[in-house]
Amino acid sequence: MPEVCTIPRLVVAAPQGRSGKTTITLGLVAALRARGLTVQPFKKGPDFIDPGWLGRAAGRPCRNLDAFFFSRETLAQVFARGAQGADVAVVEGAMGLFDGVDLEGSGSTAEIAKIIRSPVVLVVNATRMTRSAAAMVLGFKAFDPELELGGVILNHVARPRHERMLREAIKRFCHLPVLGVFPKCALAAIPDRHLGLVPVGEEEREAEILEVLRELAEKYLDIEGILALARRAAPLAVSLPAGSPAGRKEVRLGVFRDRAFSFYYPENLEALEAAGAELCFVNALEDDLPPVDGLYIGGGFPEIFAACLEANEGLRRRVREAAEAGMPIYAECGGLMYLSRSLIFRGHRYAMAGVFPFDITFSDRPSGHGYMRLRALGGNPFFPAGERLLGHEFHHSRPLDLSPSTLFGFAVERGYGINGAFDGAIYRSTLAAYCHLHALAAPGWAPALVAKAREFRKGGL
């Protein structure tokens, strides 16, 4: 029988990217937490960086809601399960409210808001607008009658007269409350990089930034009005499958987790544990390789820390030896870079693990950006030939001097991958791809990696 999720919830969206919704959402989450509320953050779509900041602001892991990866039922389950034990859930949207992968808006923030039956507050960049802001908000309100647009937050407001005109226009023409007004240039900036914000673990001023955003939210947001809107969310009926009993830990999996490698979905790590793995986190900048039966190397920014990764020659050598011995290694994006022969970044060449005989170079423009569809090829260590998988990529790097004899694990049906046609370089039991997979969209991945580690454990190095 379906359970009923009644947790107060809110989706923070915008007409377009760069409207300020990330910083405003961070400030809101921090302010709600400061009031003693347990806040569960979510992020729409494939992302690791914003969820890292949101998780740090909330004090509990942020979860991703992705209607491209998940069915409607699975998405509702991810939301309901993630929100368990929380007092309020806050979902940060992505891009524009109605922007999806097609003209129907599939995968959009609006679609997710409807699936989880959540009201939406719209963050509007009010630069050089007065009455026109009301016309824009009214269009968003009328565009989809099934969506509940419950309020507006104004950003980049110039002067008191500007604020007054905006408030009066939205009240008169849109009949919506203004739930916050941020003056021009009020929001503290989190440093950017080519993939967006700098990851939370790299920013030394992290605590200071979050405190500033909390103070700004307390000053400029109508927190009580926002909570009242969140409490209007309709009950959500969802069937939650019974959780799997904790099994015996049969293998030890090393997981690179540090400032260079931080891009992991919580569900991926949980799926590995549920499949029987004990996770052993490895700092690739400092540690040697501990006794493990397999490796999972996620994404991140190894190029920023390339000198430190190169200096840890012992780990690089041990990883190369492990791959040669047939230890199962699954690597995504940054992990692929680490397993290459070298990184060529900003005019310098840095030695990497050397599992694959190619070098990695970087460009100012993305080599691959967006959702991916893959088809597993014969010889793939973790997926049967013909299996189709969904994932995503966002990388400015590409391999140089790919050998014609390179073995690939995936044919790319949508996206770019390693060379536009294939992804997932293979060497023995190592697979390194630009594609990021989500365990809930690839349920066979974690059991397959653990099974390979179990086989390796029986044979040993």
Residues labelled as active-site residues: 333
Q: In whole angstroms, what separates CA 369 from the centre of its chain?
A: 14
CA distance 67 to 105: 10
Per-residue burial over 57-71, b if 16 or more Cβ lie within 10 Å, else e, is bbebbbbbbbbbbbe
Residue whose pair of structure tokens reads 């990330």 in the numeric block: 22
DSSP 153-200: EEEEE-SHHHHHHHHHHHHHHH---EEEEEETT-SPPPPEETTEEPPG
Using only C-alpha atoms, the chain has a radius of gyration, in whole angstroms, of 23
User: Amino acid identity, residue 162?
Assistant: H
Edge-first strand listing for the sheet containing 88-92: 63-65, 39-44, 88-92, 9-13, 120-125, 149-157, 178-183
Phi and psi, residue 370, nearest 5°:
130, -170
Q: Is 417 in contact with 399 (CB distance < 8 Å)?
A: no
CA distance 104 to 361: 37
Residue whose pair of structure tokens reads 């690179």 in the numeric block: 256
CA distance 438 to 268: 6
